[in-house]
């Protein structure tokens, strides 16, 4: 099944999507994340969706509403699971070559901002102070029920579904921030796209290969021109392994989002810049439209618009280190 969150006539709704694309609202449900907490994961969600399809009247078509990110995640962990992406972006952003040996030890991730989410066809503003904006084509797994210290085998039952993720990145801000040694902050802080729908995990099982990876075609376009193609099965870890690692020593909870990390072969502009030694294609600018498509999951498109200017702040003070 496919589930959508949307706004129609100034009210929020959650719907199951019919085969013809029409949205069938779930009565009384305004948050898919809250529904996941109540229904206990995938079986309960499928039951709720089937009941709506049987009993609820059809609603509007997605073209008539404002689609929202399908979930309101308590947290967003963004992983880095494609070798080819690591190679290209390190060369472009950090000025170094190759893949660090430590990268192979575990599926690294960082936490990004769950309060800066955009849906399909929403305009995305330029980050304040940035002139080098980039997209990143990813797939996100969504957690359906709580778990802790999970094995990969257990983690499969905790994944309720998948959605397309665009990790918008201000490369100039990111490059400066990485020199501090903590990782990106404002370079990744102002926008993440999720959508268009949540596709339940059972829908994608036919695409699973013998090694447990989902073999899905990925395509990135800028202004209608294809700039990247890859397969999701080129990940170095499965989503189940990522959820297991995320749950190590802590909890994953309903609605948590785990991004695959950016695919290779043009999954972002920075990778291409690193390979080519020049910014071709150029950084995104207002008026550019980025369209990301994942086989079996869907398409999200966003247009870049002008953003706010940065609020001025002073540089850090060099202190005397006087002691009492």
User: Class for domain 76-305, per CATH?
Assistant: alpha beta
**What distance in Å separates the CA atoms of residue 140 and residue 5, rounded to the nearest whole number?**
16
Q: What is the pLDDT of residues 185-217, one digit of tens each?
A: 999 999 999 999 999 999 999 999 999 999 999
Collect the ranges in the chain with pLDDT lower than 70: none
The pLDDT of residue 195 is: 98
For the packed helices 32-39 and 42-55, what is the interaxial angle rounded to 10 degrees? 110
The pLDDT of residue 89 is: 84
The pLDDT of residue 227 is: 98
The pLDDT of residue 88 is: 85
Q: What is the pLDDT of residues 145-172, one digit of tens each?
A: 999 999 999 999 999 999 999 999 999 9
User: What distances in angstroms separate CA 264 from CA 75, 82, 205, one per listed residue?
Assistant: 25, 6, 23
The pLDDT of residue 79 is: 98
- How many Cβ atoms sit within 10 Å of the Cβ of residue 193? 27
pTM greater than 0.95 (yes/no): yes
| Domain range annotation of the chain | 2-68, 76-305
The pLDDT of residue 226 is: 98
C-alpha atoms less than 13 angstroms from C-alpha of 14 in its C-beta half-sphere: 22
Which is nearest to 16 in space by CA: 70, 63, 64, 53?
53
């Amino acid at each position: 099944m496919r589930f959508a969150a949307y706004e129609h006539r100034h009210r929020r709704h959650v719907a199951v999507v019919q085969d013809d694309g029409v949205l069938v609202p779930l009565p009384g449900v305004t948050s898919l994340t809250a529904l996941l907490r109540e229904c206990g994961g995938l079986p309960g969600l499928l039951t709720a969706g089937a009941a709506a399809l049987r009993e609820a009247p059809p609603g509007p078509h997605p073209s008539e509403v404002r689609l929202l990110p399908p979930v309101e995640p308590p947290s967003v962990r963004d992983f880095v699971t494609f070798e080819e992406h690591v190679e290209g972006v390190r060369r472009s952003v950090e000025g170094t070559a190759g893949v660090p040996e430590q990268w192979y030890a575990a599926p690294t991730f960082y936490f990004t901002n769950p309060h800066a989410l955009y849906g399909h066809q929403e305009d995305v503003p330029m980050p304040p102070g940035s002139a080098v904006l980039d997209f990143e084509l990813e797939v996100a797994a969504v957690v359906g029920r709580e778990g802790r210290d999970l094995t990969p085998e257990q983690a499969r039952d905790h994944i309720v579904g998948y959605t397309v993720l665009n990790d918008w990145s201000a490369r100039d801000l990111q490059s400066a921030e990485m020199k501090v040694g903590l990782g990106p902050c404002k370079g990744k802080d102002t926008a993440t796209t999720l959508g268009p729908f949540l596709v339940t995990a059972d829908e994608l099982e036919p695409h699973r290969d013998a090694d447990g990876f989902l073999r899905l075609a990925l395509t990135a376009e800028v202004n209608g021109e294809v700039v990247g193609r890859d397969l999701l099965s080129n990940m170095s870890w499965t989503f189940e392994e990522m959820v297991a690692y995320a749950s190590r020593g802590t909890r994953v909870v309903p609605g948590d989002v785990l991004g695959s990390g950016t695919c290779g072969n043009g999954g972002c502009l920075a990778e291409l810049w690193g390979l080519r030694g020049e910014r071709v294609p150029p950084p995104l600018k207002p008026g550019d439209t980025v369209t990301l498509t994942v086989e079996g999951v869907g398409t999200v498109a966003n247009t870049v618009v002008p953003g706010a200017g940065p609020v001025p702040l002073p540089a850090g003070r060099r202190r005397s280190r006087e002691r009492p």
